[in-house]
Amino acid sequence: MSDDRSIERSARAWLELGPTQAPDHAVEAALRTIDTTAQERDLRIPWRFPTMNPLARIAVLVTIAVVAVGAGLYLMQPSRSSVGPQPSPTPRALPSQAAVQTPSPLAPIADGTYVGRAVKISDIIASINSTTWLSDTMPCSTPASDCASEKDFLLHAPFAQPDKSTFNAYFELNHRAWTIGFIVDGVSEVDSRSTASFLDEHTLLLQDNLLGGPLQTRVSITVVGDSVNVRLLSHETPENLATDRFIGELLYGYGPFTRQP
């Protein structure tokens, strides 16, 4: 039988090697020794022992070794969170965003009445007579009173009366309702009313329904302070008459138009 010191030395050597499992012969020797040692049971046993029995020391060492080995094996196991499929991270909720909408172009000019610069009636009469694309004759099969030339037709219009002196074109914008006309010696006359649509901040589309068909006019607009520079881009009438073209250029060509208070 081994003595107490040989058992202790075997236990210490085993602990220094750092094994992962206790050797069978050390555990069996310790258990046989503990079983054959008489245990003193007395009520006078003090609460704390001044010295520890060698056999008890060995038992404690063995117990500590077993616990240490078990803890080491547990810590050496792969992390459970890394085994198997990992849950995908929950995406962060982004703040709700309003649907992106392309706003319709806003009117570059405010509602109101805009009056163009003053023009002499005599200058308008001279312009009618000198415009080469206006015909001097207009053949037709209707009564002679209706068969005037393009120039004669315009020379009899209210804006070309020789006894008048001053002409001003004007337009009004009121919630997409567009009115254009002229003022002769302080007396205004409406030429047409249309629906205004701004295709962009510089392009205006005017649409009107006449007895002969639709009328479409495209106008370029440039705002300068309280004034608006207007340029006629196209003036499409049902019959595309030369006289309609001249009137369109007359009404839109004498800017800038200044907003009235």
Give the residue numbers spanning the domain of 123. Answer: 112-259
In a domain, 158, yes or no: yes
In a domain, 100, yes or no: no
Same domain as 169, residue 55:
no
pLDDT of residue 71: 58
* 3-class secondary structure, 65: helix
pLDDT of residue 148: 78
Interstrand relation of 119-120 and 213-224 (parallel, antiparallel or unpaired): unpaired
Same domain as 120, residue 69:
no
Same domain as 167, residue 57:
no
Same domain as 213, residue 130:
yes
pLDDT of residue 19: 53
Domain boundary among 28, 59, 75: 75
Same domain as 131, residue 16:
no
Same domain as 55, residue 137:
no
Same domain as 204, residue 154:
yes
- With a cut of 70, say whether residue 50 has pLDDT above it: no
Backbone angles phi, psi at 144, to 5 degrees: -60, -30
Out of 117-121, 164-168, 207-211, 231-235, which region has the weakest mean confidence (pLDDT)?
207-211
Residue 231, CA distances (Å) to 39, 132, 147, 260 in order: 121, 21, 32, 20
pTM (global) more than 0.85: no
- Which residues, including other chains, have CB under 8 Å from residue 169's CB and lie 6 or more apart? 115, 116, 180, 181, 182, 183, 250, 251, 252, 254, 257
pLDDT of residue 27: 54
Same domain as 206, residue 131:
yes
In a domain, 83, yes or no: no
pLDDT of residue 226: 85
- With a cut of 70, say whether residue 67 has pLDDT above it: no
Q: If residue 187 lies in a helix (H) or strand (E), which one and from where to where?
A: strand 187-200
Task: Identify the band that residue 35 occupies on the pLDDT scale cut at 50, 70 and 90.
Answer: low
Tell me which of 237 and 17 has the higher pLDDT.
Answer: 237
Question: Residues 151, 128: contact at Cβ < 8 Å?
Answer: yes
In a domain, 82, yes or no: no
pLDDT of residue 45: 38
Nearest C-alpha neighbor of 5 from the set 58, 44, 52: 58
Question: Count of domains in the chain?
Answer: 2
Question: Model confidence over 195-225: pLDDT tens digits?
Answer: 999 999 899 999 987 655 568 899 999 999 8
Task: Identify the band that residue 163 occupies on the pLDDT scale cut at 50, 70 and 90.
Answer: very high
- With a cut of 70, say whether residue 238 has pLDDT above it: yes
Tell me which of 197 and 51 has the higher pLDDT.
Answer: 197
Neighbours of 229 (CB within 10 A): 12
> Where does residue 51 rank: exposed (0-12), middle (13-18), buried (19+ CB within 10 A)?
exposed
Quick one: CA torsion of 215, 203, 233, 216, rounded to 10 degrees? -10
Tell me which of 32 and 155 has the higher pLDDT.
Answer: 155
Same domain as 195, residue 142:
yes
Average pLDDT, the chain: 75
* 3-class secondary structure, 18: coil
Same domain as 116, residue 244:
yes
In a domain, 241, yes or no: yes
The mean pLDDT of 5-9, rounded to a whole number, is 62
Same domain as 241, residue 143:
yes
Interstrand relation of 177-184 and 166-174 (parallel, antiparallel or unpaired): antiparallel
Distance CA 194, CA 155 (A): 26
pLDDT of residue 49: 40
In a domain, 44, yes or no: no
In a domain, 228, yes or no: yes
Same domain as 127, residue 212:
yes
Burial annotation 64-102 (CB, 10 A radius, 16+ → b, else e): ebeeebeeeeeeeeeeeeeeeeeeeeeeeeeeeeeeeee
pLDDT of residue 142: 46
- With a cut of 90, say whether residue 166 has pLDDT above it: yes
Angle value at C-alpha 97, between 92 and 102, nearest 5 degrees:
145
Distance CA 99, CA 56 (A): 79
In a domain, 247, yes or no: yes
- With a cut of 90, say whether residue 256 has pLDDT above it: yes
The mean pLDDT of 64-79, rounded to a whole number, is 58
